[in-house]
Amino acid sequence: MSAESQRNAVDSVEARKKPRLCHVVKREDFDGYGFNLHAEKGKPGQYIGKVDENSPAEMAGLRQGDRIIEVNDVNIGTETHKQVVQRIKANPNEVGPSDYFLFSTRFPAQKKLVKRLI
C-alpha cells in the first residue's frame, strides 16, 4: 500500500469517528426509519444495528455501529433502550416529521463536545 493510500485510509477512519448530525425524515413510501437500535454488552449507550437499503436512515447517512448521542436535541446518554425507542417513536402517526439524531462512533455523549464539533 502506498503512503498516499495509507493516509487516505487513516483519513477515512478518522472521518467515521467524528460526531455528525443525521436528519432522518419519515416517508410515506417506507415503513419506519429503516434501522435497528441496540445496546452492546459492556458498552454504554445505544447503537445503530442494521440499516435498511434505500431507507430514510440510509439516506440520512446512518451507518451500522454508530452511537446515538442525541435525539431531537435531547442527550440520551443515560437513557435506557426503551426510553430511546420511545423518544424516536414519539409521533408514530405523523408521516414527514423531522427527527434529528446525533451520532458518534468514538466520543462520549457530552453535549458541550457535540455543540463544539458541529
> Could you read off the pLDDT of 23-76 as tens digits, one per residue?
888 888 998 889 999 887 878 889 899 999 999 989 988 888 888 888 877 888
Domain locations along the chain: 20-105
The pLDDT assigned to 43 comes to 80
- The class of domain 20-105 in CATH terms is mainly beta
As a whole number, the mean pLDDT across the chain is 72
Separation of alpha carbons 21 and 17, rounded Å: 13
The pLDDT assigned to 7 comes to 57
Torsion of CA 1, 15, 18, 63, to 10 degrees: -100
Q: What is the pairing mode between strands 98-104 and 20-25?
A: antiparallel
Q: Is the pLDDT of residue 94 over 50?
A: no
